[in-house]
Amino acid sequence: MQLRTENATQTVAWGKKLGHLLQAQDLLLLDGDLGAGKTTFTQGLAQGLGITRPIKSPTFTLIREYQMGRIPLYHMDMYRLEDSSPEELGLSEYFAGDGVVVMEWSQFVADFLPAQYLRIQITRLAQADEQRQLTFQAQGQRYQELVASLRK
C-alpha cells in the first residue's frame, strides 16, 4: 500500500490511525533518509497507543521506552549501534515482549530481525516540499491484516 501526505500533521494522523490497531509484539520498521519523517510518524503511533508524552528521537540512547499507553512502546534507532551488540541491547526480548517495537535504521541489525514485520518506507517527493510518500510492505499474515485494516 502507498499513500501520500502533504505535511507533518497528515503523517502524524496516519501514525495515530495505525497506533490504534497495534498489539503487543508488533514490529514496525521505519525506513527513510534523515528528516524523512520516521520520528514524526512515531509521534502519531504513540498518540494512537494513548501515549501523551512527546516522542524524542532515540538517536543516542538507541532505545526509548514509553510505558504510559495502552501497551508499551519501544522506540529504537539503530543508526549509532556501533559498540553495542543486538544481544546486549536485548533485542530478541523486546521482540517477544509486552509491547510494540518501532525501529528506525533497522538495516544495522538486519540479521537479528524476525521474519515477520511491517516495513514503512517514507520518502520525500520533492526537496523543500512537505510532501511524503509512505509505502507499507507487510511480511506475514498479521501485518497484511494490519495494512488491510489501515486502508479502511
Interface residues toward ligand ADP, by CB under 6 A: 5, 7-8, 11, 32, 34-40, 57, 130, 132
> According to the 3-state scheme, what is the secondary structure of 131-152?
CEEEEEEEECHHHHHHHHHHHC
Antiparallel, parallel or unpaired: β 100-104 and 73-77? parallel
- 26 or 104: CB nearest ligand ADP: 104
Which amino acid belongs to residue 27? L
Report what 34 binds from Mg ion, ligand ADP, none; CB cut-off 5-8 Å by kind: ligand ADP
- 109 or 140: CB nearest Mg ion: 109
- 24 or 125: CB nearest ligand ADP: 125
Alpha helices in the chain (DSSP H): 8-21, 38-48, 86-89, 91-95, 141-151
- 57 or 116: CB nearest ligand ADP: 57
Residue 145 Cβ vs ligand ADP, minimum distance, rounded to whole Å: 25
Residue 10 Cβ vs ligand ADP, minimum distance, rounded to whole Å: 6
- Which helix (H) or strand (E) element contains residue 80? none
